[in-house]
Amino acid sequence: MESHVKIKASQQEMEDLFENDEFISVRLYERTDAGLYKCVLRHKELEKPLKGTFTIKRIKELLY
């Protein structure tokens, strides 16, 4: 499943998520504001795709 979300995080946190996460595939991320990124995530099937603004911690809570 693919979700288009905004994530509040530092550049280092986004790089770590992009490179190291086993369960979430970050297909694309783009910085829009200081600490805010537009992202395309691929993840396990859910009832509905994720929408809105999240922190990395909250995304992991929802997907694990």
Q: How many domains does the chain have?
A: 1
Q: What is the pLDDT of residues 31-45, one digit of tens each?
A: 998 889 999 999 888
Which of the 8 DSSP states describes residue 6? Answer: E
- What's the pTM? 0.82
Domain that holds residue 20: 2-63
Positions in the chain whose pLDDT score sits under 70 = none
Strand order through the sheet with 2-8: 25-33, 36-42, 2-8, 53-55
pLDDT for residue 64: 80
